[in-house]
Structure formats: C-alpha cells, structure tokens
Structure 1
Amino acid sequence: MLVVDDEAPLARLVSAYLERDGFAVESVADGLMAVELVRRWNPAVVVLDLGLPGMDGIEVCRAVRAFSDCYIVMLTARVQEPDRLKGLLVGADDYVIKPFSPKELVARVRVMLRRPRQADEPVIEVGALRVDVAGREVHVDGAPVDLTRIEFDVLAALATRAQVVFTRRELIEEVWGPDWVGDDHLVDVHIGHVRRKLGDDAADPVFIKTVRGVGYRMGAGR
C-alpha cells in the first residue's frame, strides 16, 4: 500500500489507519518518487492526493497507468465534478473528497481489493510456492501438494491478492459464500491444514501469515 500526500499529518493519519487494519504501508510526498516506488514495489493500492506540488496527482496517475494495473484511490479537496472525472478518466478507480473519514477510506480499499482485476495471472508464485489457479494445482519446491477443494480455495484467495489481509468472515464469504452460517473459526482449522501440507512452520509460518487481531495474508515465502 502506497500513500502519496504532501500533507505530512494527513499522510501519517491515513498510513496509521491502514497499518492498523493489517496493511504494509509506505508513504511519500513527491509525485516523481511515487511513480518510481510503484515501479519498484508494485503495491496493490495507491492512495494518491490530487493536489501534489510539481507533478500533480493526475500526472502521477497517468504515469503509473502506463506500466501498472494497481488500484488508485484519489484524495481531492476539489468538489467540482470535472476535477473528479478527470482523475477517473486517466485511470483512477475511486476518489475520496477531503475532509474524509479514514475509516471510510480503509473500508473502500478493502471492498476494492475483494474484486481482483480480470487480468490477474492464473499462476502465482510466492517464493518456493507455485499456485496454478486455473489448473487448481499447487507445488512447493517443485513437488506437488495435495489439497482438498476447500483448502485450495482458501489458499487461492490469499495468493491471488497477496498484499491483502483477509478477516475470517471475508474468507468465509470468498470460499463458502455469503449465505454460509456457522463458526468463523472454521477458517483457522483449514489454514492449519494448508500450512501443514505446505510445510509451513506453525510457530513462524512463511507462506500464510497471521495478522494479529485482523486475519490472514500471504507471506513472502522462502
């Protein structure tokens, strides 16, 4: 997650709320630096202020869209419709008008990330882990891993959006469906099974990380 805003107090506030929700966050105040960081880091989401000095948010958005399909949320103090439309036309996915609630921004980001891009690669590699979503095959260090249907769906949900932290309820809705009724801790049982089959150390897992107080996300692998 990348926050781009030259108002340091606001950047810190937004970053703190995102981090509290389990996201890894970087923050910069310069448009050129933001473009370079997106190129090197490839964040899932860029929270981008429209009114940056020098290279403004519109220019940053246009530059990023030339090489990245990351989600872009514009922050703008401009309430006129043409200003908002300009951001959407150059590739922003959403916009939030200042002043805004950081909780609302985080909620919008989470909803956005639950709808992955259609262009997402069907084969995902996380270190030694390889997940073929289309072929429903999993390998670790080249060796096949035998997962049940539910176990594969849980792993695929996490791997497809590797920078996203899923709550138990979000995984339930993703894998079992929104109408499923039962104990959300069923997710913990299946996560445990997947970790064991992947050879993940229960005390210090590298493939599926626990984000305390939030849920689960993919790790960096090994």
Structure 2
Amino acid sequence: MLTDHWPLLGLRLNTPRLVLRLPSEQELGQLADLAAEGVHEPDRMPFIVPWTDLPPAQRARSVVQHHWLRRGNWAPDNWALNLAVFEDGRVVGLQEIAARDFAVLRQVNTASWLGLRHQRQGIGTEMRAAVLHLAFAGLDALEALSGAFEDNPTSFAVSKKLGYEHDGVEQHNIRGRRATMRRLRLTRPEWEAHKHISTTVTGLAPCLPLFGLPGATTA
C-alpha cells in the first residue's frame, strides 16, 4: 500500500469539529477551487508571497503545484506538512506546519488560510491548535513561530488565544509598499498554559522518521 511508503497519508488530527489530514487528489482539487473563490479581501495582502494576486484559475493551479512540491521536496531536516482542513466532510482551508533541522532545533513554523465563507467562525483557532498539539505533544517541540502583518488583527487574535508572545518585527515589500510583520513565538510552557482545544493524533508513529525523530513519543 502507498501508506507503507508514505505513512503521512495515514496521519490524522481530530478536534471537536475538524479533521486535518493530507488530501486525496480529488480533495486537492476542492482545495484549489476554494482558493480560487477567494481567501482574503482584495484591498490587503496577508502573505509574503502574494500568490492570491494571481487570477482565480492560476491561483487554484498554484495551490496544486505547491502541494505537490512540498511532498516531493520532503526531507527529515527540511519538511513542510500541508494539511487540508475538513469540517463536516467539507474542505474549508489549509494548515501548514514546517521545520528545518527539527531534530536539533525543536522549532516549528505555522501558516494557514481559510476560504472566505469559512472565516470568523473560530475554525482558524481550532486548526492551529491542532498542529500545535502535533508539534508539542507529538513531536516534542520546544517552540512554535508565526507572524502576521499589522493589518491582520484576526491572526493576532488567534495567536493571543493560544499563548503566543511578540518576538520582534521585520519589514517586507508587499505590493510595492513597506509592510511591517510582527513575529510571534510560542514556548512549550505557554502552550501548556493556554491549550484548551481537545486534539487527538492518530497514525503518527510510522511517520516519525520522516520528521527526523525516530525516538520521539506519540501523542
């Protein structure tokens, strides 16, 4: 079976109302369709790489290509897990967790997006809480990093609920303008103090070598 060679296909994160897992090819198409419908208001750009400025058809194709690229470039010392997020069996967005030299640094980064019609319903908090549980409880991470531009209060609200603290700023050229990103950091003690969303992880044990952690504990 394919899962014997790529056990990440069997990894599942379950919260009270969401399931996070790698999508099938058909579900990847649904994720691309969702991106084509819109991810944010057109008058702002929440991403460093402005992929959502592409026309809808190209935007959808970029989602598919990026997903395939992340799978094909996977290495235990440089990985990015792009999980489709499902609510009631429907694809509602994407949650990424990524790391370089994780076995040494024990540090992950997260990023995500939701289809416009699924926003402001608490889904963003729940899906990030799920991958934080994977990181800290499943992979024994020490820190999780994130960030958002100053005009993205929704992302900051999610981070605050989960215990992140400010970790400096950096400047970016976004659509030809200077934009300030505020970096955020979540330590293990702060995660433990703020975790409030029940998450279960299944199928992790056979995946551990792919994360560079053959001796890690399961969630």
Q: What range is the shorter-chain TM-score in?
A: 0.3 to 0.5
Higher relative CO (CA 8 A, sep ≥ 6), structure 1 or 2? 2
Larger radius of gyration: 1
TM-score when scaled to structure 1?
Answer: 0.32
